[in-house]
Structure 1
Amino acid sequence: MVKELVRKHQDLEIYKMAFDMAMQIFELSKKFPVEERYSLTDQIRRSSRSVCANLAEAWRKRRYEAAFIAKLNDCVRGACRRQAEAAETQTWIEFSVKCGYLDVEIGRELYGTYNQILSGLVNMINHSESWLMKH
């Protein structure tokens, strides 16, 4: 199998997966009750989008390993003591299922995909040297 050349963050499979999940969550959350607009709906959309935004920023910081890893950690753990963005999204998925806004099976699929995203991010952190820009 030939590894495809990654020229920009949008070429990363993990980014594509996270972006697709953010868009799927956006579409699904359109059906949430109006009273959730400023709470659950905003939170799940924000955290799912933040994974993509932090990954894009990490990609731009590949010249310096510490900066690259720090930004990837924001995707996984979150900054300023927030929960991990991907893990936070999983929590909002759980709430959405328990509140009856998402079907259990859809919730399981979304949650499982976020496990794959978390795994991919951790793998990038653990093998950061292979992603860095050459000086």
Structure 2
Amino acid sequence: MINNHEDLQVYQMAFDAAMNIFELSKKFPQEEKYSLTDQIRRSSRSVCANLAEAWRRRRYKGSFLARLNDAEAEAAETQVWLKFAVKCNYLELHQARELYSRYNQILGIIVNITNYPDKWLLRNS
């Protein structure tokens, strides 16, 4: 039974991935604090925030889909930052591959929800 956004599997996956990124990004160089570190933390957290907003906007299909679209975009952005982190030698390849794969799973679930929104929307009484 899903009572709130925190019960959603995709939210839990995104939250865990964002926390993993937070821990790993603590080791990024200080000069990246206001660039790559900040960007990857923000985008990964934004996936969760947009999923929470989407959940609360289920009364209105357009608004629901817009937030899901934002979550999808933020997940893809996080994947880009993961690639930069590897190329800059801030992340081990195996760590980035694991997270990238996790975001592919997250993206797949978001796309699936987006493709079939009606079963998620609140019904007017």
TM range (shorter): over 0.9
* Pair 1:96 & 2:85 matched: yes
Which of the numbers 24, 27, 30 marks the counterpart of 2:23?
Answer: 27
Q: Deviations over 1:77-125 (max 9, x none)?
A: xxxxxxx211110000001111111110011000010001111000011
Matched, 1:116 2:105: yes
Q: 3-state SS of the aligned residue for 1:38?
A: coil
Q: Which amino acid aligns with 1:130?
A: K
Report the secondary structure of 1:46's partner residue. Answer: helix
Which runs of structure 1 show a deviation greater than 3 angstroms over 4 or more consecutive aligned residues?
none
Q: Does 1:125 align with 2:121?
A: no
TM-score using structure 2 length = 0.97
| Matches of 1:19 and 1:32, distance apart in 2 | 20
SS at match of 1:51: helix
Match of 1:43 in 2: 39
User: How many residue pairs are counted as aligned between the two chains?
Assistant: 124
- Cα RMSD (Å): 0.6
What's the TM-score once normalised by structure 1's chain length?
0.90
1:74 & 1:100 partners in 2: Cα distance? 29
* Structure 1 residue 45 displacement after superposition: 0.1
> Identity of paired residues, percent?
65
**By percentage of residues, which structure has more helix?**
2
2:45 alignment partner, SS class: helix
1:127 maps to a residue whose letter is: Y
